[in-house]
Amino acid sequence: MLKRLILGTLALACAMYATSEVNVYSTRHYDTDKKLFKMFEEKTGIKVNVVKAKASALINRIENEGKKSPADILITADAARLYKAKSEGLFQSIKSDILIKNIPAELRDEDNQWFGLTKRSRVAVYKIGSGMEKELSTYEDLANPKFKGTIMVRSSNNEYNQSLLAAIIAHHGEEYALKWAKGIVANMAMEPKGNDRYQVKSVANGIGKIAIANTYYVGKMVDNKDKSQAEAVKKVKIFFPKFENGGTHINISGGGVVKTAPNKENAIKFLEYMASAEAQELFAQGNFEYPVLKGVKTSDLVSSWGSFEEDKISINTLGKNNAQAVKIFDLAGWK
């Protein structure tokens, strides 16, 4: 009996040892990722276990779990959250020729603690036939009183908005940023509510005239099973605003290896796969994001929106200015 128990325990221990896995904490909430993880599993035999939550919750969780945290990878959908995770000492530096080769230097951390895996731009969406394309120009001009009662944008606790305001701070300083945020609040069609898709739907339905949204959401609404999204998106078009002295606002979704990662080698393999041509293509085709790997094309739909010049402020600035952005949103009364 005892012998059997010992043997049984041994077999279990061996089985556990043989199970190769990687634990991914991710804030990304897109169906393509499920497919990607599956492709990675098939390719490597490494099982992907996913914990999904908001960035702040995942960061807290890793901190609370401490040395025993099962987390190998933290993925966020915003640059400022990667910056925050690094400043709180959650990541470790990674040596990977593949990541360095595939990801441009400006889209990864200088100590190689986090890596941008996709790009997204935050743009203006207007209703076809509204004439708004003649009115729209820069991000700065969205605060112009001529747009009073027209702007649909989500709440200021959203990370995409915080990074947009962080970029405004980088371009013009805090004082200007406060004036700008107040201008946007004064121009809102209604009090902030809902997600990016809600803003686009509202504009299509005649509530407000300009929605501020990330590009890929427009792509995800096309042919959506939810008819209200698929119908709404037919009525709108994307406009790429620029900063007065720059290009169109870019944010990244990316990830890093957690300092205490129990499966570090698998975690590096995971990130390398995410930066591979196969994965980059799926990010582009399946989720309408802009790939970071050179040579991988955007989807036909995304290409049809036209090209734009990317803003050149460093991705780190979005993280550095995040706290000020949050403060300014509060002062401006942006709910």
Residues at the interface with Fe ion (CB under 5 A): 77
Closest CB to Fe ion among residues 77, 170: 77
Closest CB to Fe ion among residues 77, 136: 77
Amino acid at 238: I
CA distance 109 to 125: 31
Report whether 182 contacts 333 (CB < 8 A): yes
Query: Min. distance of Cβ 201 from Fe ion in angstroms?
Result: 16
Give 179's contacts (C-beta < 8 A, 6+ positions apart): 143
Query: Min. distance of Cβ 132 from Fe ion in angstroms?
Result: 24
Closest CB to Fe ion among residues 238, 332: 238
Query: Min. distance of Cβ 109 from Fe ion in angstroms?
Result: 21
Task: Give the H or E element holding residue 75.
Answer: strand 73-76
Q: Which of 153, 151, 135 is nearest to 208 (CA)?
A: 151
> Could you tell me the two tokens for 66?
């401490």
Task: Give the H or E element holding residue 168.
Answer: helix 159-172
Closest CB to Fe ion among residues 253, 263: 253
Closest CB to Fe ion among residues 118, 150: 118
Q: Which of 204, 210, 249, 240 is nearest to 224 (CA)?
A: 204
Query: Min. distance of Cβ 77 from Fe ion in angstroms?
Result: 5
Answer positive or negative: Cα dihedral of 192, 32, 281, 109. positive
Query: Min. distance of Cβ 70 from Fe ion in angstroms?
Result: 25
